[in-house]
Amino acid sequence: MDPSFLEAAKFISNEYRDLNGTGIEILDHPPSAIEFSRVIHISRPTIIKGFRFPALDLWTDEYLTKKMKENPISIATTPNGLADSICRASDGRLYFVEPFIEKMTMQQLLFKLGSKTTSPKPEIYYLQSQNGNLFSSSSFDSESNEATDNNSEFFPLLSDVPKEVPWCSEALGQHPDAVNLWIGNEQSITSIHSDPYENIYTVVRGEKHFVLLPPSDSWCLKERYYPHATYTRTSSSEALEILPSTEDIPQVRWSSILDPDSPNAFPSEITPIRVTLKAGESLYLPVGWWHYVRQSGLTIALNWWYDAEMRGMSWTLLNFLRNSTTIHDGNYNDNTD
Amino acid sequence: MDPSFLEAAKFISNEYRDLNGTGIEILDHPPSAIEFSRVIHISRPTIIKGFRFPALDLWTDEYLTKKMKENPISIATTPNGLADSICRASDGRLYFVEPFIEKMTMQQLLFKLGSKTTSPKPEIYYLQSQNGNLFSSSSFDSESNEATDNNSEFFPLLSDVPKEVPWCSEALGQHPDAVNLWIGNEQSITSIHSDPYENIYTVVRGEKHFVLLPPSDSWCLKERYYPHATYTRTSSSEALEILPSTEDIPQVRWSSILDPDSPNAFPSEITPIRVTLKAGESLYLPVGWWHYVRQSGLTIALNWWYDAEMRGMSWTLLNFLRNSTTIHDGNYNDNTD
């Protein structure tokens, strides 16, 4: 990558901020499809109130436990709440570490998330399987709106969740690629990253705290290549340890900004947008926007991912902006550009 | 402007072409508003068939003459068909030259455009006033759809033309800023330029030939600053001459590419899109796209300009791309970058 691209990216970053500010628009009601198409065209995060569906009223601990019975569900488990994040292993090297996946029942998960006791083996649990754990694109293969052919671990809950966001599907002219359920608490953190998706995120219970940066600020995210690893344990009684993956697993490109809330995380001219999303509120998180996410207390959320439009200028620009800085090996260029 | 920006602009230009190709989509019927919102989002030129309104059937020479009677209309008059273009004056300097505006009747214009005789004083006429000569944003101030308060020179024709393009207005959430009538023939040329508008262009009679380049190719348009001038004549019997404007008229930034059809107009990797638009066909010409326009025979066209969206990333990017090369004084750097 041409190092001079950095200056161009900084110019675009400043111009974008000057023209667009750092505010966030709030819609008091869900938009019509045509109104939402204009929001997508602007591609700014937007809070949308009033997108209602049964889960918002039904999903108490009791209801979820009763519905899910003894069904095993896959829970990301880490010693520190950092699933899919950069961590230093005992060998002194930094890795992109995926969580250990533990199977448990919904009742067990809710108990662990609500429990305030410090166990002798403290571990953090986060339902964040994000593989279309409720619905995926194949859920739309049949004409039926009923989720009869779904392999979801959360099958008993599917009737409480819309398969798609009507005004978003119509605006984009497509069904979602994946619909996910997220359940965690204040101990889990989603490290800062961006997705190649248009995203609708709805909080069912609790609160989500987002730190957001536009794609034009990609140059200060310090993306690096990190070797891949996974939390694992040798036996069920052992603590989780970082197990480096074999050499054939490709390195992972990830931001080196571990805490966007720290005072010196970004250059002084960069102003992240901070949004707290409460129960019943939805966030339109446009393709390419960087986001860091925390929760307050037990928090249940849903998201609908839609494939981004690759035709036109946006995709080209997103690629340029992400590639505007030289991407080093994270273990040899920790603190330099 | 940082000279290194040119390399970034070339990178974006290549990536855009690789991803989007140089084809043009054709819609056999006018889109719904939501369909057109997706077209706008992609921001690629699109041919739209079947957008019908009375002018398409009514506007024969006889009809236009009868309706317009002796009303004087403003016609751009030049010795060479180049209104709003770069021309060399007798002082040897290059100027951005605006046309002489001659008043005549519709009957006179149509006769001159249809006439094959070479007069002793050859002049080229083009109705291209493009100031909202049919409707402007003020036409939408009242709730009425009737054009009762319009000062248009073409008032008798207004009932034959829709004030707005319904699917475009709904997609953009606004009325057009200007609606224009264009009447010319093969002798008139519109020099290559881009507009800060979303544009719907419909051919009523004849054919329009467009040469189109995306905003990402702005770096090879060789924009320069040219002193302003106007074609004028000292008396009605004299030939038109270029009259340089006074120093207080600001210089005009304009492309130095006078003939995009010449073999060496652009670097070899640049592939203009060539479109011929026939009677009854419409072209969506997105904001920032470069266009050079000619006609075959007597050609009547209409266009609807809508203000471009300035929020979001598109406007920032358009500005960056246009500013990616250093803009010289056109008279001192004719052939260099």
Of the two residues B263 and A162, the one the predictor is more confident about is A162
Q: Chain B residue with minimal CA distance to A18? A: B316
Q: Which residues contact A331 (CB under 8 A, 6 or more apart)?
A: A93, A94, A226, A227
Q: How confident is the model at residue B333 (pLDDT cuts 50, 70, 90)?
A: low
Q: What is the pTM of this model?
A: 0.93
Cα→Cα distances A240→A89, A121, A130, A212, Å = 11, 9, 22, 31
Of the candidates B34, B43, B312, which has its C-beta nearest A44's C-beta? B312
Residues of A in contact with B316 (CB under 8 A): 12, 15-16, 19-20, 216
What percent of chain B is helix, strand and coil (3-state, nearest 5)?
25, 35, 45
Asked whether the predicted pLDDT for residue A190 surpasses 70, the reply is yes
Closest CA in chain A for residue B45: A312
Low-confidence winner among A69-78, A88-97, A211-220, B227-236 (lowest mean pLDDT): B227-236
- Inform me whether the C-beta atom of residue A11 falls under 8 Å from chain B C-beta atoms: yes
- Cβ neighbours, 10 Å, residue B62: 10
- pLDDT for A120: 58
Chain position carrying tokens 């007069």: B119
Determine the pLDDT at residue B138: 86
Share of chain A above pLDDT 70, in %: 93
Distance CA A205, CA A313 (A): 37
User: Per-residue pLDDT for A333 more than 80?
Assistant: no
pLDDT score of A327:
80
* 3-class secondary structure, B172: helix
Query: Which is more confidently placed, A295 or A333?
Result: A295
Encode pLDDT of B321-332 as tens digits.
Answer: 998 887 888 888
Comparison of pLDDT for B333 and A85, the residue scoring more: A85
pLDDT tens-place string over residues B83-137: 999 999 999 999 999 999 999 999 999 999 997 655 556 899 999 998 999 999 8
Tell me if residue B291 falls in helix, strand or coil: strand
Give the pLDDT of residue A20: 96
Residue pair B55/B203 in contact (Cβ under 8 Å)? The answer is no
**Could you give the angle at which helices B313-322 and B5-20 cross, rounded to 10 degrees?**
120
> What pLDDT, on a 0 to 100 scale, did the predictor assign at position B332?
80
Based on C-alpha coordinates, what's the Rg of chain A?
20
Print burial letters for A207-234: b (CB count within 10 Å at least 16), e (below 16).
Answer: bbbbbbbbbbbbbbbbbbbbbbbbbebe
Cα-trace Rg, chain B: 20
Mean residue pLDDT across chain A: 93
Q: What are phi and psi of B216, to 5 degrees?
A: -70, -15
CA distances B304 to A92, B24, B112, B180, Å, are 64, 20, 26, 7
Residue A198 CB neighbours (<10 A):
25
Helices B61-68 and B106-114: crossing angle in degrees, nearest 10, is: 150
Cβ separation A311–B4 shorter than 8 A: no
Q: CA-CA-CA-CA torsion for B295, B296, B301, B305, nearest 10 degrees?
A: -30
- Dihedral over alpha carbons B179, B230, B94, B109 (to 10 degrees): 60
pLDDT in tens, B190-203: 999 999 999 999 99
Beta-sheet strands, E only, within A94-196: 94-98, 100-104, 124-126, 135-136, 178-184, 189-193
Per-residue pLDDT at A144: 53
Q: pLDDT tens-digit profile of B152-189? A: 999 999 999 999 999 999 999 999 999 999 999 999 99
Q: Are strands B135-136 and B241-244 parallel, antiparallel or unpaired?
A: unpaired
Q: Other C-beta atoms within 10 Å of A297: how many?
A: 12
Contact A84, A184 (CB under 8 A): no
Mean predicted confidence (pLDDT) in B284-306: 97
Q: What is the pLDDT of residue A122?
A: 81
Interface with B, mutate which of A1, A2, A10, A37 (most B CBs under 10 A): A37
3-state secondary structure of B233: coil
B318 token code pair:
């358009």
Nearest-CA neighbor of B255 among B320, B193, B176, B297?
B193
Q: Looking at this protein, which amino acid is placed at residue A217?
A: D
Q: Which residues of B touch A317 (CB under 8 A)?
A: 12, 313, 317
Looking at residue A337, its pLDDT comes to 46
Answer whether B314's CB lies under 8 Å from A20's CB. no
The stretch B235-251 carries a mean pLDDT of: 92
pLDDT tens-digit map of B71-80: 999 999 999 9
Give me the phi and psi of A72, to 5 degrees please: -75, 135
Least Cα separation, residue B321 to chain A (angstroms): 10
Residue at A95: amino acid letter? Y
Q: Inform me whether the C-beta atom of residue B4 falls under 8 Å from chain A C-beta atoms.
A: yes
The model's confidence at residue A332, banded by pLDDT at 50, 70 and 90, is confident
Question: Is residue A103 a contact partner of residue A72, using CB atoms and an 8 Å limit?
Answer: yes
How far apart (Å, rounded) are the C-alpha atoms in residues A115 and B336?
72
B34, A171 contact by CB (below 8 A): yes
Q: What is the mean pLDDT of residues A253-271?
A: 95
Which among B4, B15, B312 has the least Cβ separation from residue A41?
Answer: B312
pLDDT band at B62; cut points 50, 70, 90:
very high
Length of chain B: 337
- Min CA distance, B13 vs chain A (Å)? 9
Interatomic CA distance for residues A102 and A77, integer angstroms: 6
Say yes or no: B245 contacts chain A, CB-CB below 8 A. Answer: no
CB B282 within 8 A of CB B51: yes
State the Cα–Cα distance between residues B255 and B192, nearest whole angstrom: 7
Q: Which pLDDT value is given to residue B1?
A: 60
The values of phi and psi at residue A63, to 5°, are -60, -50
pLDDT of residue B337: 46
Tokens of A112: 């662990």
* Statement: residue A238 has pLDDT above 90: no
- Residue B48 contacts residue B171 (beta carbons within 8 Å): no
In terms of pLDDT, which residue wins out, A213 or A122?
A: A213
Query: Is the minimum CB–CB distance between B319 and chain A shorter than 8 Å?
Result: yes
Instruction: Looking at the complex, report in whole angstroms how far the Cα of residue A307 sits from the nearest Cα belonging to chain B.
Output: 14
Helices and strands of chain B, counted as H and E runs? 7, 20
* A124, two tokens: 């953090």
* pLDDT score of B336: 45
Residues of B in contact with A43 (CB under 8 A): 312-313
pLDDT at A21: 95
User: Which distant-in-sequence residues (6+ apart) come within 8 Å of B99 by Cβ?
Assistant: B76, B77, B78, B83, B84, B126, B128, B230, B231
Q: Note the pLDDT of residue A118.
A: 56
* Token pair of B179 as six digits: 């609606």
Q: Is the dihedral of CA A152, A153, A156, A158 positive or negative?
A: negative
Q: Give the orientation angle of helix A33-42 with respect to helix B33-42, to 10 degrees.
A: 10
Q: Give the closest-approach CA distance of A249 to chain B in angstroms.
A: 28
| Interchain pair B19, A316: CB under 8 A | yes
